[in-house]
Chains A and B, each alone.
Chain A
Amino acid sequence: DAKTTQPPSMDCAEGRAANLPCNHSTISGNEYVYWYRQIHSQGPQYIIHGLKNNETNEMASLIITEDRKSSTLILPHATLRDTAVYYCIVRARSDTGNQFYFGTGTSLTVIP
């Protein structure tokens, strides 16, 4: 069962930063926060993940609050190609299984 809450949709102007929020108020100490995106009818694409520290890679930044109950994915300069559904997922560290629970995600539309 999905353990995250995301707004169903958001708009962002091209060239501006897109800030996508995610609530995971029941997250456990050993659970990671993962972000994926899915462009229409393609396979989900991994973006970034983190445990408690903020993370940055070539695609995005992940800001996790100190209490770890929420996080924000930041796309610093959104382009039209960033239009997609963004999924926030929490996943426990486990050596006995590897499954992600995808919620309904946030549909981000980048506007020219």
Chain B
Amino acid sequence: KAGVTQTPRYLIKTRGQQVTLSCSPISGHRSVSWYQQTPGQGLQFLFEYFSETQRNKGNFPGRFSGRQFSNSRSEMNVSTLELGDSALYLCASSPHTGTGQETQYFGPGTRLLVL
């Protein structure tokens, strides 16, 4: 099976702009989670989507939003970009087995630089 794919891999934006990142999960996986990784804060959970519904949300401002489509693909959007939004954005997918053992498989990430 193909792994989690994320597009684009690199992105440069300026303050005040908005950005949309895309994630395609592993085939058959229904849960998609997003994480932000910065040198100062490490890996932080943004939100999780399952069956097109946001199931979980981390402690991030409303400028960060996401959605999931019927084919489980997901997008996240950051509006009014700030310099501090420069980070590696990681997407992870997991199957919904109902066993509680929801191993997450990560994509390569999108590196966003805000100037």
* Residues in chain A within 8 A of chain B (CB atoms): 30, 32, 34, 36, 41-46, 49, 87, 91-104
A-B contacts counted at CB < 8 A amount to 66
What residues of chain A lie closer than 8 Å to B100, measured between beta carbons? 30, 32, 92-95
**A interface SS class:** loop
**B interface SS class:** strand
- Shortest CB-to-CB span from A43 to chain B, Å, is 4
B33 touches A44 (CB 8 A): no
B101 touches A100 (CB 8 A): no
* Interface status of B16 (Cβ within 8 A of chain A): no
Looking at B4, B92, B105, the one whose CB has the most chain A CB atoms below 10 A away is B92
Known A-B contacts A42-B109, A44-B43, A49-B103; A98 and B48 likewise in contact (beta carbons under 8 Å): yes
- Shortest CB-to-CB span from B45 to chain A, Å, is 5
Q: Once bound together, how far apart are the Cα atoms of A43 and B106, in whole Å?
A: 6
Closest B residue to A45 using CB positions? B106
Q: Once bound together, how far apart are the Cα atoms of A30 and B55, in whole Å?
A: 20
Q: Once bound together, how far apart are the Cα atoms of A104 and B37, in whole Å?
A: 11
B48 touches A46 (CB 8 A): no
